Structure 1
Amino acid sequence: MGAEHISRWESGALAHAVSDPFGQGPLPWLRGNEHYFSDTGRLIPWYAEPERPGCRGPRSANDVNRQIKGFASAGAVAPGESIDFHVTVDPPQQFSIDVYRIGHYAGHGATKVTTSPRLSGIVQPPPLTANRTVSCHHWWLSWRLQIPSYWSIGAYVAVLTTANGYRSHIPFTVRDNGPADLLLLLPDITWQSYNLYPEDGRTGASFYHAWDGRGRLLGEREAAVTVSFDRPYAGAGLPLHIGHAYDFVRWAERYGYDLAYADARDLHAGRVDPSRYRGLVFPGHDEYWSIPMRRTVEAARDQGTSLVFLSANTMYWQVELSPSPSGVPDRLLTCRKRRGPGKSALWREADRAEQHLLGIQYAGRVPEPHPMVVRNADHWLWESTGAGEGDELPGLVAGEADRYFPRTSLPPHLRRILLAHSPYRDARGTTRHQETSLYRAPSGALVFASGTFAWSPALDRPGHVDPRVQRATANLLDRICKRD
Structure 2
Amino acid sequence: MNQLPNRRQLLTLAAASGASLLLPPHASHAASSSAVLKAENARPGTQQWMLSKTRIDPDTKYRCPWIEGYVSHASIMAGETLQVMVSTDPVSEFTIEFYRLGYYGGDGGRLVHTTETLQGSAQAMPKVGLRRLQNCQWPASFELRIPEDWVSGVYVGKLTELNEGLQSYVIFIVRDTRESELVFQCSDHTWQAYNRWPSQFSLYDNGKNPWHWGNESQVSFNRPYGKYSQISDAPLSIGSGEFFLWEFPFVYWLEREGYDVTYISNTDLHRDAKQPLRGDGFLSVGHDEYWTIEMFRNLQAAIAEGVSVGFFSGNAVCGRIEWDDETRSLRRVGVFGPPGGTREFSSMSSLKHERPYANELIGAHSTGPVTGGADWICSKPDHWLYAGTQMKLGDSIPGVIGWEWHGDPADIPGLEIVARGPTQTAPGELNGGEYTATVYPGPKNNFVFNAATCWWADGLSEPPGYVRPKVYTAPQGPDARIQQITRNVLNRMRQT
Normalising by structure 1, we get a TM-score of 0.79
User: Partner residue of 1:84?
Assistant: 83
- Counting only pairs closer than 5 Å after superposition, residues 256-271 of structure 1 correspond to structure 2 as 256-270=258-272
User: Partner residue of 2:129?
Assistant: 130
Q: 1:60 aligns with which of 43, 55, 60?
A: 55
Structure 1, 120-129 or 425-434: larger mean CA deviation: 425-434
Instruction: Give me the whole-angstrom Cα distance separating, in 2, the residues matched to 1:371 and 1:31.
Output: 31
Post-superposition shift, 1:241? Answer: 5.5
CA shift in 2, pair 1:343/1:224, >3 Å: closer
SS of residue paired to 1:310? strand
User: Partner residue of 2:41?
Assistant: none
% identical aligned pairs: 30
SS of residue paired to 2:258? coil
Instruction: Give me the whole-angstrom Cα distance separating, in 2, the residues matched to 1:447 and 1:168.
Output: 37
CA shift in 2, pair 1:393/1:64, >3 Å: closer
Cα offsets for 1:249-284 (capped at 9, x unmatched): 111111111111111101111174322221111122
* Conserved 8 A contact 1:134-1:231: no
Instruction: Give me the whole-angstrom Cα distance separating, in 2, the residues matched to 1:238 and 1:429.
Output: 34
| Amino acid in the other structure paired with 2:219 | V
- Counting only pairs closer than 5 Å after superposition, residues 165-184 of structure 1 correspond to structure 2 as 165-184=165-184
Instruction: Give me the whole-angstrom Cα distance separating, in 1, the residues matched to 2:97 and 2:215.
Output: 34
- Counting only pairs closer than 5 Å after superposition, residues 405-444 of structure 1 correspond to structure 2 as 405=409, 409-411=410-412, 413=413, 415-426=414-425, 429-444=430-445
* Conserved 8 A contact 2:315-2:370: no
User: Partner residue of 2:479?
Assistant: 466
CA shift in 2, pair 1:259/1:222, >3 Å: closer
Structure 1, 388-397 or 269-278: larger mean CA deviation: 269-278
| Amino acid in the other structure paired with 1:389 | L
Pair 1:226-2:225 in alignment? no
| Amino acid in the other structure paired with 1:205 | F
* Conserved 8 A contact 1:206-1:227: yes
CA shift in 2, pair 1:153/1:195, >3 Å: same
Post-superposition shift, 1:98? Answer: 0.9
Cα offsets for 1:161-218 (capped at 9, x unmatched): 111111111110000111111111111111111111102xxxx411212556xxxx63
| Amino acid in the other structure paired with 1:59 | T
SS of residue paired to 2:445? coil
Cα offsets for 1:393-443 (capped at 9, x unmatched): 0111120111134xxx534x4x32111112222488434321110111223
CA shift in 2, pair 1:308/1:78, >3 Å: same
Pair 1:333-2:333 in alignment? no
| Amino acid in the other structure paired with 2:296 | R
| Amino acid in the other structure paired with 2:268 | D
Pair 1:357-2:361 in alignment? yes
How many residue pairs are counted as aligned between the two chains?
A: 412
SS of residue paired to 1:475? helix
* Conserved 8 A contact 2:215-2:332: no
- Counting only pairs closer than 5 Å after superposition, residues 244-283 of structure 1 correspond to structure 2 as 244-270=246-272, 272-283=274-285
Unaligned regions of 5+ residues in structure 1, if any?
1-26, 33-56, 326-330
Instruction: Give me the whole-angstrom Cα distance separating, in 2, the residues matched to 1:475 and 1:65.
Output: 42
CA shift in 2, pair 1:191/1:64, >3 Å: closer
CA shift in 2, pair 1:136/1:95, >3 Å: farther
* Conserved 8 A contact 1:242-1:284: no
SS of residue paired to 1:74? coil
Q: What is the RMSD computed on CA atoms of the aligned residues?
A: 2.6
Pair 1:476-2:489 in alignment? yes
| Amino acid in the other structure paired with 1:304 | G
| Amino acid in the other structure paired with 2:98 | V
- Counting only pairs closer than 5 Å after superposition, residues 138-217 of structure 1 correspond to structure 2 as 138-163=137-162, 164-199=164-199, 204-211=200-207
Instruction: Give me the whole-angstrom Cα distance separating, in 2, the residues matched to 1:417 and 1:387.
Output: 17
* Conserved 8 A contact 1:401-1:451: yes
Structure 1, 452-461 or 78-87: larger mean CA deviation: 452-461
Cα offsets for 1:301-345 (capped at 9, x unmatched): 0110111110111111111111325xxxxx021113599x99964
Post-superposition shift, 1:246? Answer: 1.1
Unaligned regions of 5+ residues in structure 2, if any?
1-45, 228-237, 336-344, 464-475
Instruction: Give me the whole-angstrom Cα distance separating, in 2, the residues matched to 1:134 and 1:342.
Output: 20
Instruction: Give me the whole-angstrom Cα distance separating, in 1, the residues matched to 2:63 and 2:239.
Output: 13
Post-superposition shift, 1:233? Answer: 0.7
Instruction: Give me the whole-angstrom Cα distance separating, in 2, the residues matched to 1:335 and 1:292.
Output: 14
- Counting only pairs closer than 5 Å after superposition, residues 283-432 of structure 1 correspond to structure 2 as 283-324=285-326, 331-336=328-333, 345=351, 349-364=353-368, 369-405=373-409, 409-411=410-412, 413=413, 415-426=414-425, 429-432=430-433
